[in-house]
Amino acid sequence: MSASYSVPQKRKLVTALPGPKSIELQERRVNSVSRGAGTLVNIYMDHGAGAILVDVDGNQIIDMGCGIGVTTIGHANAEVAEAAAAQAAKLTHTLFTVTPYENYVAVAEKLAEITPGDFPKKSILVNTGAEAVENAVKIARKFTGRRAIVALDHAFHGRTNLTMTMTYRPWPERAGMGPFPGEIYSVPTSYPYRDGLTGEEAAEKTIDYITTHIGATEIAAFFVEPIQGDGGIVIPAPGYFKRISEFCTENGIVFVSDEIQAGIARTGVWYAIEHHGVVPDLVTTAKGIAGGFPLAAVTGRADIMDAVQPGGIGGTFGGNPVSTAAALKVLEIIERDDLLGEARRVEKALWARIGDWAEKFSVVGEVRGKGAMFGVELVHPGTTTPYPEALTAILKHATSHGVIVLDAGSWDSVLRIMPSVVISEELIDDAASVIEETLRALSGV
């Protein structure tokens, strides 16, 4: 994508990483910030533009993580910053449930337009992805009169008490945090690299588990991530979600697509569930919707969304005027600049550059992805045994050489690559070259 940025779009290191100013800030952080707010790498950022972050020491770093999928349209987009600043100068807060304002309504109208499904829809706006998931649970329970909630193995839905219960792995998200809410169930999913099943076969396994362990008539909602981000960029086999959606319809279960990480143009469509040809009852949105400002939403069938009594859902800062102004500009830019097409361009570039890694490097079991959302599954050579030490080595080398990539996977063995959709092919190539240095060493080539 051709664009002009305030920061040159290239990697440039002027100090070792972390640099001296980052080291000084880290010393301050240790004394003032809870260690529970862990950090992937202690490099402190000052500003950014496009796909480049600049740290406090002046190093230009390629961002292949986007704050876990938030800055999809690039860092510090000038139009979004201008829209937010203009709104902040007019009005910063009233609380929509006390005295409303147009931005909230306009975002809800736009979400009704871009989410899957040709039926009347309504939305509620909140602050975070976890809050959106919690509200989707409340709405589904109120609508169905049922209590049980189903999520998939390897899922990640948040860190609140309810949503970490819906999250698959115990460490670090929920170790020592109990007791947890009841009536939350994790069920088998489709993981093609590891189960070898077709989508239909995997769906029948899921349904059998529900039938024999939970009971379909007890379930209020079935939550899925069309692409599991923290779970390791797991993309269920074709046909899996179609059968699960049919099962939900047959049994009066609300089918919820959690698009916190994969939604809003990241995979080349507005919402990743579209790749599967399935229309959910409810959709949760967050991360990329507002260019870095806190905003999330639950959108869905109007009859389901209206099941809750007035005052039953909401919150002080949900859908605040500044975040909604930013979101409206983000959504405008995505459409105007065809960022869905740009995500598909990034996918093509990633496949061309890293798609052969499983053939070239013995520690790579599989490369998979959609749009600007890729995973590289790392295994001990000649096996499918997860290789978390390989991921640790890649992350250490990449970050010390000016490339930010992410960890993922239930066994901490999937390299997660989630750049902005405006990243250039040149930056993709440079980042991949840095990662390959570790892959070659680990593979002995």
Q: Could you read off the pLDDT of 45-70 as tens digits, one per residue?
A: 999 999 999 999 999 999 999 999 99
Nearest to 374 by CA among 385, 364, 362, 359: 364
Q: Could you read off the pLDDT of 388-427 as tens digits, one per residue?
A: 999 999 999 999 999 999 999 999 999 999 999 999 999 9
Average pLDDT over residues 321-338: 98
Distance CA 380, CA 390 (A): 9
Q: Tell me how far the alpha carbon of residue 29 is from its chain's centroid.
A: 26
**Res. 263: pLDDT tops 90:** yes
Q: Could you read off the pLDDT of 401-412 as tens digits, one per residue?
A: 999 999 999 999
Distance CA 21, CA 260 (A): 33
Largest CA distance in the chain: 64
**Res. 344: pLDDT tops 90:** yes
pLDDT score for 165: 95
pLDDT score for 169: 87
Model confidence band, residue 3 (pLDDT cutoffs 50, 70, 90): confident
User: Residue 63: enclosing H or E segment and its boundaries?
Assistant: strand 60-63
pLDDT score for 216: 98
Model confidence band, residue 353 (pLDDT cutoffs 50, 70, 90): very high
Cis peptide before 381 (omega within 30 of 0): no
pLDDT score for 213: 97
Is residue 357 within 8 Å of residue 375, measured between CB atoms? Answer: no
Is residue 96 within 8 Å of residue 125, measured between CB atoms? Answer: yes
**Res. 296: pLDDT tops 90:** yes
pLDDT score for 141: 98
- Coil, helix or strand at residue 73: coil
Distance CA 371, CA 418 (A): 9
Nearest to 366 by CA among 262, 234, 276: 234
pLDDT score for 48: 98
Q: What is the mean pLDDT of the chain?
A: 97
Tokens representing residue 231 in the block: 């779970």
pLDDT score for 247: 98
Distance CA 328, CA 224 (A): 26
Average pLDDT over residues 73-95: 98
- Coil, helix or strand at residue 257: strand
Q: Could you read off the pLDDT of 175-197 as tens digits, one per residue?
A: 898 899 999 999 999 999 999 99
Rounded to two decimals, the pTM is 0.96
Model confidence band, residue 2 (pLDDT cutoffs 50, 70, 90): low
Percent of the chain with pLDDT over 90: 96
pLDDT score for 173: 82
**Res. 160: pLDDT tops 80:** yes
**Strands, sheet with 184-187, edge to edge from the N-terminal-most edge strand:** 121-126, 296-301, 282-285, 254-258, 219-224, 148-152, 184-187
pLDDT score for 172: 86
End-to-end CA distance of the chain: 34
Tokens representing residue 300 in the block: 């869905």
Average pLDDT over residues 111-140: 98
109: CB partners within 8 A, 6+ apart: none
Paired strand residues for 304: none
Average pLDDT over residues 368-384: 98
- Please report how the helices 321-336 and 78-90 are oriented relative to each other, as an axis angle in degrees rounded to 10: 150
Is residue 282 within 8 Å of residue 249, measured between CB atoms? Answer: no
Paired strand residues for 146: none
